[in-house]
Structure formats: C-alpha cells, structure tokens
A and B are shown apart, each in its own frame.
Chain A
Amino acid sequence: MIGVVGTVPDQDFPLVTGETRLKGDSIHIRGKQIPVNRGTPALLAAAIKTAQVLDQGAPFAYLVGDVGLGHGSRRLYEYLSGQLGKRDFDTIVFHYLQPDVDWHNRVLFAVEEMKRRPVLIADAGFMYAAKMSGQSSQYDLFTPDIGELAFLADEEAPHPFYTRGFILHEENRAPELIARAYQHENAARCLLVKGKQDYVADRQGIQATIDIPMEEAMEAIGGTGDTLTGIVTALIGTGMEVVKAAAIAARVNRLAGHYANPTPAMQVIEMVQHIPRALSEILQRG
C-alpha cells in the first residue's frame, strides 16, 4: 500500500486519514470531497489513476487543511510522529507541508519505528525540510523541478527563495546542479528532475533523460509536477525499482500531457484523465 501525506487549501478541512477515490474532478476521502487542481489532490488523482491501471489498491492519505499559516501542517506532523510507527506501507510520499525542520525530524524518527522501512519519497515543502535538516540521504527519491534542483544544489540555501544567484536555474545546467547536490549530500538516493527535459539521476550520474513528447505549455500548468510525483509513487508501490519507475513515470506524464493538447491556460485535471491511456501505452512499449 502507498501512503500520501499532504495538505489541502482549505483552512477548515480537518485532519483526515483513509483510503482515497477519484470521482469526476474530486478526491473523496471519508465522506469529504476535495477538488483536484494542483498540490496534493493532483498527486493523489494521478496516483489513483495509475494504481487502477496497475490493479493496485487505492492510496491511503493523511490530509489536513492548511492555507500557509502552518497550523494544519503542524497538527499533521504531530499526528504522524505519534502514529506512523504503527503503520505498514510499501511506499510513502511526503508532499505539500509547511517546511519545519524540527517536526520533519520527529516524523523521520517515527518512520524508523516502522516494522519495515518503506520507500521514502519527498517533494514540495517536505523536501525543503528534508534538505534543510541535512537528512536528504534518508530518502529514496526527491522530485524537484529545475528551480528546486538549484536549491538542492546550493548548500547554503534554507529555501528555494534564497538560492544564490550564481547558481542559475537554467535547464542546461541541470547535470551540473545534480552533481553539486550529491557532492554536498543534499540529494535523495535518486532524483527525478522535472522540466523541459526530465532527468533521472543517482550518485553515479544521470541515468535517463526524457524529452519527448515535448509540450512547452506543461511548465506553466500548475500541478503537472504533482501528477508526475503521483505516478512515480504508484509505480514504486508495485515494487518497481526506483530509477526504472522514475523514467517510466516521466514518459507517462509527458504523454498524458501531450494527449491533453495543452495550452498554458489548461488545468491539470484535464491531463489526469489521460494518464491511464498514456501508462498503458508506455508499459506496452516496454
């Protein structure tokens, strides 16, 4: 089973845990509905679609409302640090949470208490906290975009907002930034870098570069990175090796985007609907 940890943009949304379903344009969990536009709901939608094709169970989610004040995130951190050690997951992805180093470390302690260690994936705010805590190497996969990769590569920056100017966020410098992130121990065991070209890398270097189909508009569409993280999480949840899953996920996400015929004004739910077709096609190609 895969676990998904994140927030939804509704201050009044309570802390909810449970299996998730996608109905129309909404995630359903414990009788509550969340529209899929970007962030953790988009990740969940993509993971659900992927899991359905792979005949896997629905993702189990830990969600709470947070609009940036951090109150919801801290409640969720506290809950996880008390409860996660009792659970069993194949894979856990930590996503949109207010970065908080102290709480991040407590959650990581709870993971250590689990009977078997799941594959650990971090993206978005939780990835920022993981890097800032100096514990990136505890994770199996980070899924940064190019701006976040520059942040990982900058050993001084505590948040992408402070990435130093000499570490330019240029796509063609991604290989150099990946190497620098590993040099300073600020990368997970595997990196899936989302961008004009997607890169799958580990400490040994770049293992795969995926650049077709090319849809320039995808960069502007909020949530397309979240769907990629959702797809790779579901693939890894089947037991697939992380580097292989990352390369397949990148191809699937690009193809789903291509089938949606995107413009920069498209909303991510439109591409989510194309994930099953794209996934089936990529898996058939082998």
Chain B
Amino acid sequence: MLKKAGWKIRVMGPPPEIRSGCDLVIEIPLIEKLNILRTLENLKIPPLKIVPVSSPLLQPVDLFQNKDFGKYLMIRAANMKLTIEKETQTIVNISGGGCPDVPYLASKMVGLSLDKAPSPREIGHTLCGYALQLAYEEMRRR
C-alpha cells in the first residue's frame, strides 16, 4: 500500500531495543512520518511503534536456493521450502519454518496449483509466512 502510494520504503529487521520475537519493521523517511501514519491509520493497519534509528538495520534474506528433483522443483528462501510438480505447477510440499502459520499455510496451499493457491501474503501472518511468500514469488517468476 505504501509503495503504491509512492513512498520509498523497505522491509527490514527490527533494531535490538524493540525486538520481541517474530517482528519486522518498515523503514520510512522520518520526514514523511505523519503522512505515512495517516495512510496506515486510514487502512486500519496502524504500526505498533514508530521509532527513529541511527544504526543500520538487518536486511531480510534475499538469497534463494533451488533443488531440481527432475519431476519436482524445490525453492528455499531463508528457512522455508516450497516444492512443486513441474508439469502441473501443483504445490506438493511445504517444509521448514517454525512459526505456527507454517502448518496452516501448508494445509491451505498443498495440492493446489500455483495459480489457484492463496499466496502466503494473503493468509500468512509471520516472518516464516513472509519467507514462504518470497519462495512462492521466486517460484512463480521461474
């Protein structure tokens, strides 16, 4: 939503002082704080906190690894793995991860084609879900 509205933002890791568990931050230009806050509040997704940071933030994983099983292709992003049957594009397995939405995402996605399955972005809630979204996007890109 923020990107669509034209702001330059980045998804990043939280600074140590506000880490609680499964979190991410959106890096925004502080000068646009009020405009961005208004946008998020209008969308009913206000941020939990807005904090200034001076040190560099951790970046999400952006490395993908793939494994070709012949009939099947697996892509891994961070701790999440997505496997499809190449011919039918059917999602046959999801593995890895440790957050509670991983089994939930698997129950909703496995057995469906990449086109028909809900994306992790739509129904996931955690960083593992986000990592699976990256694997899903990479799989679709290929």
25 A/B residue pairs, CB under 8 Å, sorted by A: A7-B103, A39-B102, A67-B100, A69-B125, A70-B125, A97-B100, A98-B126, A100-B22, A123-B98, A126-B98, A147-B79, A148-B79, A158-B14, A158-B23, A159-B13, A161-B79, A161-B131, A164-B59, A169-B63, A219-B81, A220-B81, A222-B93, A222-B102, A263-B72, A265-B83
Chain A residues closer than 8 Å to B71, beta-carbon distance: 263-264
A37 to B59, CA, bound (A): 32
Q: Does B116 contact A (CB under 8 A)?
A: no
Q: Return A149 CB to nearest CB of chain B, in Å.
A: 10
Residue of B59, B72, B93 with highest tally of chain A CB at under 10 A: B93
Give the residue of B13, B99, B101 whose beta carbon is less than 8 angstroms from that of A158: B13
Give the total of B residues in contact with A, Cβ under 8 Å: 52
Whether A163 pairs with B93 at a CB distance below 8 angstroms is no
A143-185 near B? 1/0 per residue, CB < 8 Å:
0010110010000111111111100110000000000000000
Expressed in whole angstroms, the minimum distance between the Cβ of B14 and any Cβ of chain A is 7
A99 and B102 form a contact (CB under 8 A): no
Of residues 212 through 229 on chain A, the ones whose CB sits less than 8 Å from some CB of chain B are 216-217, 219-225
Q: How far is the CB of A263 from chain B (nearest CB, A)?
A: 7
Per a CB cutoff under 8 Å, which of B65, B72, B98, B103 touches A9?
B103
Minimum CB–CB distance for B90 against chain A, Å: 8
Contact check, A220 vs B74: say whether CB atoms are below 8 A apart. Answer: yes
Tell me if A107 counts as interface (CB < 8 A to partner B): no
Whether B22 and A219, one on each chain, are in contact in the complex, defined by CB atoms closer than 8 angstroms, is no
Which residues in A have some Cβ–Cβ distance to B below 8 Å? 7-9, 37-41, 66-70, 72-73, 96-102, 123-129, 132, 145, 147-148, 151, 156-165, 168-169, 216-217, 219-225, 263-267
- 19 further interface pairs, Cβ-Cβ under 8 Å (given A99-B99, A129-B21, A219-B74): A66-B100, A96-B98, A97-B100, A98-B99, A99-B98, A102-B20, A125-B100, A156-B58, A158-B13, A158-B58, A160-B127, A161-B128, A165-B61, A216-B67, A217-B69, A221-B93, A221-B95, A263-B72, A265-B92
Q: Which of B16, B79, B94, B124 has the most CB of A within 10 A?
A: B79
* Docked complex: B81-136 residues within 8 A CB-CB of A: 81, 83, 85, 92-107, 110, 124-131
Contact A128-B98, Cβ < 8 Å, known A168-B63, A219-B67, A220-B69: yes
Chain B residues closer than 8 Å to A222, beta-carbon distance: 93-96, 102-103, 106, 110
Residue pair B104, A264 in contact (C-beta under 8 Å): no
- 8 nearest interchain CB pairs? A68-B101, A124-B98, A68-B125, A39-B103, A9-B104, A265-B92, A160-B79, A222-B95
Q: State A225–B92 Cα separation when bound (angstroms).
A: 17
Most chain A C-beta atoms within 10 Å of own C-beta, residue among B74, B92, B95, B110: B95
Q: Which of A101, A124, A165 has the most CB of B within 10 A?
A: A124
> Which residues on the A side are within 8 Å of B103 (C-beta)?
7-9, 37-41, 96, 222
Q: A69-B125, A160-B78, A264-B69 given as contacts; is B98 within 8 A of A219 (CB)? A: no
Closest B residue to A266 by CB, please name it: B93
- Most A CB contacts (10 A, CB to CB) among B58, B103, B130 go to B103
**Within the assembled complex, what's the spacing in Å between the Cα atoms of A165 and B62?**
8
Query: Is there a chain A Cβ closer than 8 Å to B29's Cβ?
Result: no
Interface residues of B in 30-57 (CB under 8 A from A): none
Q: Does B10 contact A (CB under 8 A)?
A: no
Q: A264-B72, A264-B74 are in contact. Are A124 and B21 (CB under 8 A)?
A: no
Given the complex of chains A and B, what is the CA–CA distance between A100 and B79 in angstroms?
18
A41 to B102, CA, bound (A): 13
- Across the interface, which residues of B come within 8 angstroms of A9, CB to CB? 100-101, 103-104, 106-107
Nearest CB of chain A from residue B55's CB, rounded to whole Å = 11
Q: If the complex has contacts A124-B98, A161-B79, A168-B63, are A101 and B127 also in contact, measured as CB distance less than 8 A?
A: no
